[in-house]
Amino acid sequence: MSIKIEHLSYVYGEGTAFEKKALDDISLELPDGQFIGIIGHTGSGKSTLIQHLNGLIKATSGQIYYNGQSIYQDNYNMKELRSKVGLVFQYPEHQLFEIDVFTDVCFGPKNLGLSQEETEERAREALEQVGLGEEFYRQSPFELSGGQKRRVAIAGILAMKPEVLILDEPTAGLDPKGRDEILDQIAMLHKERKITVILVSHSMEDVAKYVQRIIVMNRGKAMYDGAPREVFKHYRELEEIGLAAPQVTYVVNSLKEKGWDIKTDATTVEEA
Ligand code: ADP
């Protein structure tokens, strides 16, 4: 699996008074198996970008290749793309609607046309991977805690066996404990399933701890793209584009703990 994005631009409401350029000439390569964080303040284009990756939004201009094939070519199998590139939306628990947890997780694979037996096998496997045992199967999703609901929603996507798992702000609205649990679980999934994971967040704290590559979005552009240590060298610029100061301080402090020599009056930081 690989995704290649070439000169991608997207304009909402093109030709209307509400025209808004949300993505501006983005080119990125997302090779197989990486754990990638996309960060940026609200409105920087993160959600718009990821919705392009499974074809929910079609580019105004530019190209996206999945395994070398343009997803915009005639007769491209969008349904298959959507099962390969699993997207967990913000507040995914709002999309839980089945009578119980197990039926909910079965919904996706069943829709793919799999047999009942395989559907159920996948649901069991997916629920196990998000740490929900059989005692949860017959519970109503609405009786669960916020973190548990979110796990059910993630399991629903995992049951489709995606090659790429994209999570849009998976920790939004959770308490610190729920947040750490979800992020640890996601990190474990990346390790065990060896799939590409894209974690979208406005919080550097969330991504700094887990990912191997960070893409910083700002005003519809990919402003920085690299290993966390490379990206965090620009911490002053990050602060300037609204990635909140306390978070920068947190990251700087955690790098100091790791032995980095950071002079807080400097404009760049170097590893000790
Ligand atoms: P993020 O996910 O980083 O918060 P979005 O991709 O949601 O950013 O938004 C990027 C820009 O596009 C913002 O200026 C936002 O207001 C605008 N936008 C997002 N969705 C819509 C929409 N449905 N119609 C018009 N403008 C939109």
Verify whether ligand 1 is closer than 6 Å to residue 43 (CB atom).
yes
20 CB under 6 A from ligand 1?
yes
Distance (Å) from CA 20 to ligand 1 centroid: 8
Evaluate: CB of 226 within 6 angstroms of ligand 1. Answer: no
Q: Give, for ligand 1, the residue of 8, 11, 20, 218 to mutate: max count of ligand atoms closer than 8 Å to Cβ.
A: 20
**pLDDT surpasses 60 at 269:** no
What's the rounded mean pLDDT across residues 104-128? 95
Which CATH number describes the domain made up of 3-257? 3.40.50.300
Query: How far away, in angstroms, is 38 Cα from ligand 1 center?
Result: 15
Check pocket membership of 19 for ligand 1, CB cut-off 6 A.
Answer: no
| For ligand 1, atom 14: residue with the closest CA | 43
What is the ipTM score, two decimals?
A: 0.99
Tell me which residue has its CA closest to atom 13 in ligand 1: 43
50 alpha carbon to ligand 1 midpoint, in Å? 12
Of 30-39, 111-120, 232-241, minimum mean pLDDT range:
232-241
* Contact assessment for residue 126 and residue 156, using Cβ atoms and an 8 Å cutoff: yes
Domain boundaries, the chain: 3-257
- With the most atoms of ligand 1 within 8 angstroms of its CB, the residue from 11, 47, 243 to mutate is 47
pLDDT score recorded for residue 264 = 57
User: Given this model, what pLDDT does residue 272 score?
Assistant: 46
- CA 10 to ligand 1 center in whole angstroms: 10
Question: Is the pLDDT at 246 greater than 80, yes or no?
Answer: no
- CB distance 48 to ligand 1 below 6 Å: yes
Query: Which residue in 155, 201, 212 sits closest to 179, CA to CA?
Result: 201
For residues 14-28, average pLDDT: 96
> How does pLDDT run across 131-154, given as a tens digit for each residue?
999 999 999 998 998 889 999 999
Distance 48 CA to ligand 1 centre (A): 6
Mean pLDDT of 98-119: 94
pLDDT given at position 245: 47
What is residue 93's predicted lDDT score, i.e. its pLDDT?
84
Query: pLDDT, tens digit, for every residue of 166-216?
Result: 999 998 888 888 888 889 989 999 998 889 999 999 878 778 888 999 999
Closest ligand 1 atom, residue 44 Cα: 3
Residue 250: what pLDDT?
66
pLDDT tens-digit profile of 60-76?
999 999 999 999 999 99
Q: Is 86 in the pocket of ligand 1 (CB under 6 A)?
A: no
